[in-house]
Amino acid sequence: MKVFKIILSLLLAIIACLLIFFSINALDLSALLKEIVPLETMQQDAGLEKAVKRINDCLADGNQNRALRSLNRLLDDYPDKVHLDVQTKLDLFFYRNNKVMLTLGVYVLFFSAALAVSAFLKQQKHQTAVLVAILVASLYAGIYIVEDLVGVNSMLMTVLKKGAIYALLAVSMNLLNGFTGLFSLGQAGFMLVGAYTYAIFTIENTSRAQVYQYYQGGLVQFTLPTLVAILLAGLAAAFFAFLIGLPVLRLKSDYLAIATLGFAEIIRAVLQYDGLGRITNGSNLLRKFTTFNTALFPFAVSGICIALIALLIHSTYGRSFKAIRDDEVAAEAMGINLFVYKQLAFVISSFFAGIGGALLAMYQTTVQAAAFTSAMTYEILLIVVIGGMGSISGSILASFLFIASSEWWLRFLDNVTYIGTFKVPFFRSGFRMVVFSVIIMVVVLFYRKGIMGDKEFSLKSLMEPRKGGKRRG
Amino acid sequence: MADSMLKLNNITMQFGGVIAVDDFSIVVKQNEIVAIIGPNGAGKTTAFNCVTGIYPPTSGQVFFENRLIVSNYPNKKMKALYAGGNKNFPKEKVCLTPDKITRLGMARTFQNIRLFKSQTVFENVLIATHLHQKCNLFSAVFRLNHQQEQAARKHAMDMLEVVGLLEVKDELATSLPYGQQRRLEIARALATKPKMLLLDEPAAGMNPQETAELAQFIRQIKERFRLTVLLIEHHMDLVMSISDRIYVLDFGRLIAHGTPEQVQDDPKVIAAYLGEDEE
């Protein structure tokens, strides 16, 4: 069995390498063209020469798609003139299906790696760890391919991007509300701090005069690298959380909710204050800061952040957080300092909320303090509750479902629709939210503890027994 | 004095106008099993809570291994309200939080069982090993404390073996029967590697046979981990069979103390438990 597995995985690996090799080394079109239409044949036919020239022109313009279309037409028009042997046919095939073949190669490689792992590694723990790594890698490869196929600005990619960001926000809120049992309503406030910190430090210097047109070009006159600014956004949010936590977390019961709700409202007003205009641009938009143009970026950042949170939760610190949630008095009697650990959970959660805010700013391409209302907090709280308090994978799942249905799947309910001559009743602008509310009520009624409860998605349910699975967005 | 493990000096606890514990002083020597008994509402658990730092006493001091861990005097509005028997107040105010007291080596169980409900039996014990893990957040997240973690897991398993709950280690803590939950609480307390164990009514709700087993068990762990044990109990059989000395509380006041035989024959104790004849 083991030998068979190894041989199969080797075979697959060879196939994968061939696929990847060919698709990377696929001839470019002008070279391919010379192969297909030799110089002598071209000179014999004026029409053919013209067609070849058109393709070359398209290539010179950088319009790959049109070049490919022209080539297809050429092949249809002059089937007998072109020179097509097996070699050129193969080259043409790889040129046409470059991305798909590359993906296929990558996936086959992943699969063969998984097979090899299951053959070589004896220990269940190592096996699953490698399998999870392979799964995550193929997820990212999948996003890369899908993005290439459907286009960056398609609805699917929009939903995926926003879903990834909301997943991070929901997981960071879950760390506090679900795992530590502290009820905080300041998520929007910390996101706002993160978003503004990020935006202020990454506006290009040349655009500052334009963005801060009412405030003499602003005070900050330098630009930080994107990742540094994102980190700074998290730290800024964490700093505010630290200050709030100092007095509030020493008290028992739910003062934190009140304090954080107040903070979120106050910081929103403060950032719009005219006196701070040279930094925050008053109540005007902040724009022209660095954004991302591929969905891989938010996926990578929130993936790493969520993985860090998951690692934290499964560490001895995470166990202490859960102990505090279950019974404060007993936790204290076990030598866990309530204040320090609550403060720790609060600051870490806010740190990731700040990073999530920065990502959201990048996604929206503009930020305005007025948009970060408490409704945004409730939206994320809703995701956490639907996903399950105390479940990371639940939060991730719920945020993608939430974003997909609120942005995409229920859109049709907002349009006035006719079936034949019959006008569908109720279908008008705003009806989407009615249906959405009903769906949420149904979910809450039938899944009291959320979709996942406090369980985690794990490979256990798919294959062998295993404890404490993680899944990344 | 040299071998005194725990010393309570004139502890008074007053809630508003109610004096729960009044001028209560005890000494527990190393390696002793000492019991505090008394009718319901005598203030036994209140005394426990003062010792373990859950709330500071109104007045009085607690020494653990000759180190002052709790000390308070009537202040604020208690100054006027104070009605305790003792008028010699300590000068300083020291209130270590329960976690610090646990770190010093005093572990306790609770009268109304307080387990971590959503966690398994094993995880319950594992949490208690946290205070001996010397790792910071970074090393914990990136699993640089791997060896420590292994040691902690092994320690937790050992403790479960001691209390005989190894077979049910993956069950949810609250799904265990009552007696086993009590044992789990003791295992959790032992996992903090204490020098002294405070048991708050460990035999509550147990039948006579389970109680006898528990007595055996307490003696066993006392020997094995060289513990000093202070317990509150209602079951006279248990108290009389395992205690070296007994303190009797009634309405917050110490009415008798001594060996089990001495206490058993004390007329005041009999009166407190059976009610006095009023002619």
DSSP letters along A360-372, please?
HHHHHSSB-GGG-
- Report whether A353 contacts A417 (CB < 8 A): no
**pLDDT digits 0-9 by tens, B177-207:** 888 899 999 999 999 999 999 999 888 888 8
Interior angle at CA B76, CA B75 and CA B80, nearest 5: 80
CA dist., res. A102 & res. A330, Å (int): 56
Give pLDDT < 70 ranges for chain B: 1-2, 276-279
Q: How do B67-72 and A422-423 pair as beta strands?
A: unpaired
Query: Residue A319: its chain B contacts at CB < 8 A?
Result: 123, 126-127, 130
Handedness of CA A297, A299, A302, A306 (dihedral sign): negative
Those residues whose C-beta lies under 8 Å from the C-beta of residue B275, and which sit 6 or more positions away, are none
Measured CA to CA in angstroms, residue B78 lies from A261, B13, B44, B51, B84 at distances of 35, 11, 21, 20, 11
Q: How do A422-423 and A418-419 pair as beta strands?
A: antiparallel
Please state which CATH number belongs to domain B106-193. 3.40.50.300
Strand partners, B230: B34, B198
CA nearest to A116, candidates A131, A98, A104: A131
Handedness of CA B85, B88, B91, B96 (dihedral sign): negative
CA dist., res. B240 & res. B79, Å (int): 40
CA dist., res. B112 & res. A262, Å (int): 37
Interface test mutation site (partner B, options A126, A175, A319, A342, max chain B beta carbons within 10 A): A319
CA dist., res. A182 & res. A342, Å (int): 8
Name the amino acid, one letter, at A22.
F
- Report whether A299 contacts A473 (CB < 8 A): yes
- Report whether A351 contacts A235 (CB < 8 A): yes
Contact A317 B114 (CB under 8 A): no
Can you tell me whether residue A245 is helix, strand or coil?
helix
Same fold, B1-101+196-208+227-279 and B106-193: yes
Chain A, 267-326: which have a CB under 8 Å from a chain B CB?
308, 311-312, 315-317, 319-320, 322-323, 325-326
CA dist., res. A69 & res. A472, Å (int): 39
Query: Residue B141: its chain A contacts at CB < 8 A?
Result: 308, 311-312, 315, 317
- Report whether A311 contacts A472 (CB < 8 A): no
Q: Which two tokens stand for residue A164?
A: 């990834």
**pLDDT digits 0-9 by tens, A278-300:** 888 888 899 899 998 888 999 99
Token look-up 């019974």 returns: A327
- Report whether B36 contacts B232 (CB < 8 A): yes
- Report whether A383 contacts A399 (CB < 8 A): yes
Residues in chain B: 279
Contact A317 B137 (CB under 8 A): yes
Please give the radius of gyration of chain B, using alpha carbons only, rounded to the nearest integer.
20
Query: Residue A329: its chain B contacts at CB < 8 A?
Result: 54, 98, 110, 114
Can you tell me whether residue B96 is helix, strand or coil?
coil
B1-101+196-208+227-279: CATH topology is Rossmann fold (3.40.50)
Q: How do B59-64 and A418-419 pair as beta strands?
A: unpaired
**Which ipTM did the prediction report?**
0.91
Residues in chain A: 473
Q: Which two tokens stand for residue B168?
A: 């049910």
Strand order in the sheet with B4-15: B18-29, B4-15, B59-64, B67-72, B94-95
Contact B117 A337 (CB under 8 A): no
Give pLDDT < 50 ranges for chain A: 464-473
Q: Where are the alpha helices (DSSP H) in chain B?
A: 44-51, 78-81, 98-104, 121-128, 137-141, 146-163, 178-190, 208-224, 236-242, 260-265, 267-274
Q: What confidence score (pLDDT) does residue A461 get? A: 58
Those residues whose C-beta lies under 8 Å from the C-beta of residue A218, and which sit 6 or more positions away, are A203, A208, A211, A212, A278, A279, A281
- Report whether B97 contacts A337 (CB < 8 A): yes
The Cα diameter of chain B in Å comes to: 75
Query: Residue A322: its chain B contacts at CB < 8 A?
Result: 116, 118-119, 123, 127
Contact A335 B188 (CB under 8 A): no
Phi, psi of B245 (to 5 degrees): -140, 160
- Report whether A69 contacts A115 (CB < 8 A): no
CA nearest to A329, candidates B131, B111, B218: B111
Can you tell me whether residue A351 is helix, strand or coil?
helix
CA dist., res. A271 & res. A281, Å (int): 8
Query: Residue A330: its chain B contacts at CB < 8 A?
Result: 110, 114-116
CA dist., res. A241 & res. A234, Å (int): 11
Q: Could you state, in order of their start, the residue ranges of all structural domains in chain B?
A: 1-101+196-208+227-279, 106-193
What B265-272 contacts at long range (C-beta under 8 Å, 24+ apart), as own/partner pairs, is: B272/B38, B272/B39, B272/B248
Contact B102 A333 (CB under 8 A): yes
Q: What confidence score (pLDDT) does residue B191 get? A: 93
Can you tell me whether residue A152 is helix, strand or coil?
coil
CA dist., res. A135 & res. A307, Å (int): 14
Phi, psi of A241 (to 5 degrees): -60, -40
CA dist., res. B246 & res. A257, Å (int): 47
Chain A, 441-470: which have a CB under 8 Å from a chain B CB?
454
CA dist., res. B270 & res. B247, Å (int): 14
Q: What confidence score (pLDDT) does residue A136 get? A: 85
Measured CA to CA in angstroms, residue A151 lies from A94, A145, A155, A156, A293 at distances of 21, 10, 9, 9, 11
Handedness of CA B268, B270, B273, B276 (dihedral sign): negative
Q: What confidence score (pLDDT) does residue B109 get? A: 93
Q: What confidence score (pLDDT) does residue A59 get? A: 77
